């Protein structure tokens, strides 16, 4: 994925509309294709991936975090070795790992050096839950995207 998708998915800001909405306390409307997003009834956005995982044969499913984290990828032998030592042979490998991390797992020094030339961005996703009734003033909010924002979050227990 590269940055050209941004113009199609994120609305361009209009200073006049932003100013008017701030003064009137209105939420912005018509944010292009991201104006609406249907969340699963149960499980939030993670419910999507849980549903996808249920379509796979259980014996073919290995998730990270329980010893399934990838340690090495031997592209020549077509074998992935997990943290717990499990060796998995593959015919074709589809990876969602960041390319620089995949190159490191492959142990290919030349490929690692080439990945240092890539540009990329990262995202930190913070989920907050609210007990009780939802406040009316956030009823039309689903998510907020803040570029170049330092966020300090304090959780009081």
pTM: 0.51
The rounded mean pLDDT for the chain is 75
Mean pLDDT of 55-78: 81
Residues in the chain: 157
Confidence of residue 4 (pLDDT cuts 50, 70, 90): low
Confidence of residue 157 (pLDDT cuts 50, 70, 90): very low
Q: What is the pLDDT of residues 137-147, one digit of tens each?
A: 766 665 555 55
More confident residue, 147 or 43: 43
User: What DSSP string describes 72-133?
Assistant: EEETTTTEEEETT--EEE-SS----S-HHHHHHHHT-HHHHHHHTT--------------SS
Beta strand pairing call for 79-82 and 70-74: antiparallel
Tokens matching residue 89: 């042979």
Quick check: 100 and 112 in contact, CB under 8 A? Answer: yes
């Amino acid at each position: 994925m590269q940055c050209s998708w941004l113009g199609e998915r994120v609305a361009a800001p209009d200073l006049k509309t932003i100013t008017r909405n701030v003064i009137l306390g209105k939420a912005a409307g018509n944010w292009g294709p991201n104006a609406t997003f249907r969340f699963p009834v149960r499980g939030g956005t993670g419910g999507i991936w849980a549903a996808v995982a249920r379509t796979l044969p259980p014996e073919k499913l290995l998730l990270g975090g329980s010893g399934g984290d990838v340690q090495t990828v031997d592209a020549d032998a077509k074998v992935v070795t997990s943290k717990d030592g499990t060796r998995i042979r593959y015919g074709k490998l589809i990876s969602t790992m960041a390319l620089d991390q995949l190159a490191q797992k492959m142990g290919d020094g030349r490929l690692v050096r080439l990945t240092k030339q890539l540009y990329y961005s990262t995202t930190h996703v913070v989920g907050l839950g609210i007990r009780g009734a939802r406040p009316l003033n956030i009823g039309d909010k689903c998510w907020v995207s803040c570029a170049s924002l330092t966020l300090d979050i304090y959780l009081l227990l």
